[in-house]
Chains A and B, each alone.
Chain A
């Protein structure tokens, strides 16, 4: 038994060392060795095909848009599963949150965090980021609300129904944009071939469907991850509890 366990540990150590060596290679290779294969095609063709400055966003939402739809439905299924698992859960008492200073500081910070999240989503086709990252930042804001203001603060203002509606309409928006491509005679999720303007590269309105798909994914991920967190916390207002101290 003990020998077996040690053997397992030795195997895990070997695997870790191999992966670590692989990661280490990333810092020693030169980035200018010449790019071949599909990478070269994407790098040279992105500006011409889509008009997006961010190659990663172009691949995610144009060349491989259908895969992104699948990825989004994975998140949707996860959120549904977690919400279903915790559906029967009784709520517990909500905390009053942290001190006055932390609450005021958070209140000053929230608009800037939301602005940052929106900029990540809206400029996803220009700079690193996109719908998934920006939506996750939005979800982080609701987590901060839960920590700092107590768990009933946000649940009392934004009902789970609203979040579910936002998430579902994000998925519907994504699919509807994809169907426009079908209507115009192209494939599902066709971008510029379906008549969406490519625009000037580097401008806010460019990249055809990519900004719209970014917004759809942002709605989905933000509402979805927030629902995930709150269905795990599952603390609604307790009617027997006294009102929290005034801030």
Chain B
């Protein structure tokens, strides 16, 4: 596997991780986390850990995303996160 491809994956991994942690919109954060999981699974395959890659792909992209979406749809939204007040 070429190093350039791995570099691209790693850089994109950082972008999705930052999006997941810093996005204002909760849904965008959940989807970014899902993309993060898929990229992580590809990286696990490159690092020759197919067992872990299978688990990562299914759990992180399938089940965790759906559980987050259920939790999102069943909780109340009361404005923005108060933790972010001093950032703006």
Contact = CB atoms under 8 A, between A and B. Distances in A.
Contacts of A137: 58
Contacts of B86: 1-2, 5
Contacts of B59: 136
Given A1-B86, A2-B86, A133 B48 contact: no
Nearest to A135: B58
Interface residues of B, number: 24
A140 B54 contact: no
A233 interface: yes
Contacts of A128: 50-51, 53-54
Nearest to A55: B51
Interface in A92-139: 120, 128-130, 132-133, 136-137, 139
A42 to B, nearest CB: 14
A56 interface: yes
A173 to B, nearest CB: 21
Interface in B18-59: 43, 46-48, 50-51, 53-55, 58-59
Interface majority SS (helix, strand, loop, mixed), chain B: helix
A27 B58 contact: no
B74 A136 contact: no
A69 to B, nearest CB: 18
Contact of A136 (B14, B48, B51, B63): B63
Given A5-B86, A143-B63, A143-B66, A24 B51 contact: no
Q: Which of B3, B50, B54 has the most CB of A within 10 A?
A: B54
B15 interface: no
A62 to B, nearest CB: 15
Given A2-B86, A27-B47, A140-B62, A229 B54 contact: no
B46 A140 contact: no
The binding surface of chain A is classed by DSSP as helix
Given A2-B86, A20-B14, A27-B6, A130 B62 contact: no
Interface size on A, as a range, is: 20 to 34
Contact of A229 (B43, B51, B66): B66
Nearest to B2: A27
A225 B70 CA distance: 14
A133 B51 contact: yes
- 9 closest Cβ contacts across the A-B interface? A128-B50, A136-B58, A133-B54, A140-B62, A56-B51, A26-B47, A143-B66, A128-B51, A232-B70
Interface of B: 1, 3, 6, 10, 14, 43, 46-48, 50-51, 53-55, 58-59, 62-63, 66-67, 70-71, 74, 86
Given A20-B14, A133-B51, A147-B66, 16 more contacts: A27-B3, A27-B46, A56-B51, A128-B50, A128-B53, A128-B54, A132-B55, A133-B55, A136-B55, A136-B62, A137-B58, A140-B63, A225-B63, A229-B67, A232-B67, A232-B74
